[in-house]
Amino acid sequence: MHEKPSNITRKDAFESQRQRIMKMKELFKNKRFILILAAALLLLAGAVWLNLKLGGDDPGSAAEATPEPADPARETMVNVYGDYFNSFRTERSRLREREIDYLRSIINSENSDEDTLADAQTRLLELVSNMEKEFSIESRIRSKGFLDAAATVGGDTATVVIDGESLSDEEVARILDIVVTETGLPASKIKISLGA
């Protein structure tokens, strides 16, 4: 005859089943995060490849094609602006690293509820997407013959700073076309300015 299992056995079985479910949920969260991050990295790699393909030149040849300034005043201006653009990129990278670390700490925390976790994962994907867009915008602008550019994309706006003394209407239109293509934003949400 079959004996009924005792309450202790049922309780242990229930607890064991609950623990397995919790482990599966945790594994699913980690796999989902890894898949999302892998997809974002693939998008970034695709953007770099596409940028190189559209630019038509290898990154080293653009520096060789840039003529040296003819006079010392122009050389000083290039150095000042070059310092501005390098400093801007360094600061932007530092801030992004801190934000990514913060989001990762939320994602990896056992204390994060599902809404907080989902928000952090969404924000991380947006951040990676914006970084990809900024890189692509800057690279495409340089491939069009501009000395340098710095772009920031966030929310529903984009700002681009161009290294140069002036911009013609045609140059503004080319830059605007690049930014609209990369971000999908309307022209009214894009700001283009010169220098430091």
Identify the band that residue 182 occupies on the pLDDT scale cut at 50, 70 and 90: very high
* 161 — pLDDT class (breaks 50, 70, 90): very high
Summarised one tens digit per residue, pLDDT across range 21-62 is 766 666 556 666 666 656 666 666 666 666 666 654 444 444
* Mean predicted lDDT score pLDDT of the chain: 76
Domain ranges of the chain: 7-189
pTM here? 0.59
pLDDT for 38 equals 61
DSSP per residue, the chain: -PPPPPHHHHHHHHHHHHHHHHHHHHHHHHHHHHHHHHHHHHHHHHHHHHHHHHH-S-HHHHHHHSPPPSSHHHHHHHHHHHHHHHHHHHHHHHHHHHHHHHHHHHHH-TT--HHHHHHHHHHHHHHHHHHHHHHHHHHHHHHTT-S-EEEEEETTEEEEEE-SS---HHHHHHHHHHHHHHH---GGGEEEEE--
With bands split at pLDDT 50, 70 and 90, how would you rate the model's confidence at 176? very high
CATH of 7-189, picked from 3.40.50.300, 2.60.40.10, 1.10.287.4300, 2.60.40.1120, is 1.10.287.4300
